[in-house]
Chain A
Amino acid sequence: MSDAPLLRIEGLTKHFHLPGGRVVHAVEDVNLAIDRGHIVGLVGESGSGKTTVGRTLLRLTEPTAGRMIFDGTDVFALSARDMRVWRRRLQIIFQDPYSSLDPRLTIAAIIDEALDTRGLPKGRARRDRIAELLELVGLAADHATRYPHQFSGGQRQRIGIARALAVEPDFIVADEPVSALDVSVQAQVLNLLEDLRRRLNLTMLFISHDLSVVEYACDEIVVMYLGRIMEKGPSRALRADPLHPYTKALLASAPQPDPTRVRTHVPLAGDIPSPISPPSGCVFRTRCPIAIAACATRIPPTRDLGGGRSVACLRVGEGADHPPFEMEAHA
């Protein structure tokens, strides 16, 4: 673990402007630091702003406000020209291995395109590098001459990973990288990512809606709701002792492969509200089982709890124990 984080995001905000003057508050004042060699998981319900965070970090979507200090540089302040040089240091792996690869290109050509930005001369060295990359992700060098449709979903995701690694990025955003895969194949790709992280000291933001995948794959977990961070902390601590009512509900909602567990309560009622008119105060208050009057008027400040943990809830740490989250009983 290094002293200074590889990247630090401060006050990241993204508003999308819709026709008619309406504004989507997709991301609101997100602060986050990621250490080199760490995989940070980003979880939250659909529409909570996970993809938008990932895309703005790569400036695939321009942020509305905020800074990202990456290795000492404010990336959001870079000119379009400087950004082009920077882009190769930041890569993204997409959810859908089917649509993210150009069907008309061979695997060699797909990776070759990525290597262009690296300035590696064409010829022998490139061919060797392509073979090396394919091997790195568990494919064979002779796969290079084939087309995407000749591969299975898991293999295509490996190709997407090889493409992202081709330029030796410092940081990778993986947006639901295993969500489209079957469990047996998902396990192969998770093993590959862990193996690569160890060998290449990769730093990654891992976006997923599957908590068991995030708990397994990530060192830290960030929980988002309606554009804001509710809680973050090391995976194990967060799982063992979730503090924010939303984190508790998410963990309790995840189905467990254990039929002796009998669920007696639904952890969270209702739906996530529209980000066009998010609730005042704490955005979670309309579904929060322990909300109080103050939650409607005050935006909960993020409190640093030490040990890498922080939480944004007015009622956490107020002393009194909250109504227990009785969610299950054992048969």
Chain B
Amino acid sequence: MSAAAPATMPTSGGEIDGLAEGVVLAVTDLETHFPSRRGVAKAVDGVTFTLPRGRTVAVVGESGSGKSVTSLSIMGLIAPPGHVAGGRILHRDRKGVVRDLAKLSNAGFRHIRGPEIAMIFQEPMTSLNPLMRVGDQIGEMIALHERISRRALRARVIELLQLVEIPEPETRIDAYPHQMSGGMRQRVMIAMALACRPNLLIADEPTTALDVTIQAQILALLRRLQADLGMSVLFITHNLGVVAEIAHEVVVMYAGRVVEQAPVGDLFARPSHPYTRALLASTPNIARDIDAEGRRRPLAAIPGAVPPITALPPGCAFAPRCAHVLDACREGRPGLVAIAPDHVTRCIRRDLP
């Protein structure tokens, strides 16, 4: 494989056509497996979605549904013995070269991670070095990819801190992570991700650990950066309220599979998949769940729990909890079906109201 060749050479290996114009990333039938003595854990087992250029696509799903493993697969960061076992991850870089990241070597990824695709990881404290000043950590990211003088580097870092709206960047550049609040640390993480001016940003639950007030600040920042820099963003969350605030399009995952993708307005107004509907119905909503006399209506909880990925039922993974299940659902695995030009769902029932 010649994927180690610089990304600027359009003739190097791992490149392919077949990515629609205006699409930055298209994941098709992705499978990521973790073998162990007790069998293979199929953490991602049929993930298909597209990310249009300059848009924010939110991936939403409950804990363990495979959101982080999907993003780590895109970044080529699945640690062995885990591996991408199938499917394609087509990515178009800023020069228009299309590659299948599922087949890219580690060396090939060196030109992708940072300048093309950057990621904000779910655990902020594990990705920030507590012993290093935040400015040095951001600077390190830049120096990894370009030759730059110390003075120019410091200026660039201050510029980045300004970009993520950190007050007094000239002083904060020399702070250590523990001297900052959770919100400020998350801004530093965003600055690090933006250091090499990526055109695709993957943000894995960037606001989950934050207070709602700080979450609102970070969401506003990400919305502004996305629009100003024209970035494409893959935003991972389990919170439907956050989805409504940040996303242009939504991908819903359940038990390692994508069950629905739709523009955000459609998804909330006309959710199609029974799981998406159940998820929306189980989130407390005062207007709906409390009647005029102030009495609570029971929430529409989904019975049971997500099955462990090592013991998924045959057929539709949602079948054991689905209110609309038929015998046929337990037999074959439903495929993704388009029910509108940009709305797909993985459910065999077309007859639900």
Contacts and interface: CB of A to CB of B under 8 A. Distances in A.
Contacts of B215: 253, 255
Interface string B161-197: 0000000000000000000011110000000000000
Contact of B216 (A236, A258, A268): A268
Contacts, number: 133
Given A184-B62, A184-B302, A257-B240, A249 B286 contact: no
A45 interface: yes
B301 A250 contact: no
A206 to B, nearest CB: 13
A254 B283 CA distance: 13
Contacts of B265: 259-260
B217 A266 contact: yes
Contacts of B283: 183, 187, 212, 257
Most chain A Cβ neighbours within 10 Å, of B62, B212, B286, B296: B212
B285 interface: yes
A190 interface: yes
B268 A152 contact: no
A211 B283 CA distance: 12
B310 to A, nearest CB: 14
Interface residues of A, number: 44
A272 B184 CA distance: 12
- Interface range on chain B (Cβ under 8 Å from partner): 35 or more
Given A184-B302, A267-B213, A216 B278 contact: no
A194 B296 contact: yes
Contacts of A277: none
A215 interface: yes
Interface string B282-313: 11111001100010101111110110000000
A287 to B, nearest CB: 9
Contacts of A253: 212-213, 215-216
A258 B244 contact: yes
Interface string A267-302: 111011000000000000000000000000000000
A190 B297 CA distance: 11
B62 A259 contact: no
A213 B241 CA distance: 13
B204 to A, nearest CB: 17
Contact of B212 (A187, A190, A211): A211
Contact of A271 (B183, B296, B303): B183
Contacts of A252: 216
B302 A212 contact: no
A172 B353 CA distance: 42
A309 to B, nearest CB: 15
Contacts of A258: 244, 268
B212 A154 contact: no
A190 B284 contact: yes
A209 B210 CA distance: 10
B297 to A, nearest CB: 10
6 contacts: A187-B284, A215-B286, A259-B245, A266-B216, A267-B216, A271-B183
Given A182-B238, A255-B242, A263-B219, 17 more contacts: A45-B212, A45-B214, A152-B305, A182-B63, A185-B305, A191-B301, A209-B212, A257-B244, A257-B280, A258-B244, A261-B244, A263-B245, A266-B216, A268-B213, A268-B216, A268-B217, A271-B214
7 A-B pairs with least C-beta separation? A255-B241, A187-B301, A184-B302, A216-B284, A187-B299, A187-B282, A182-B62
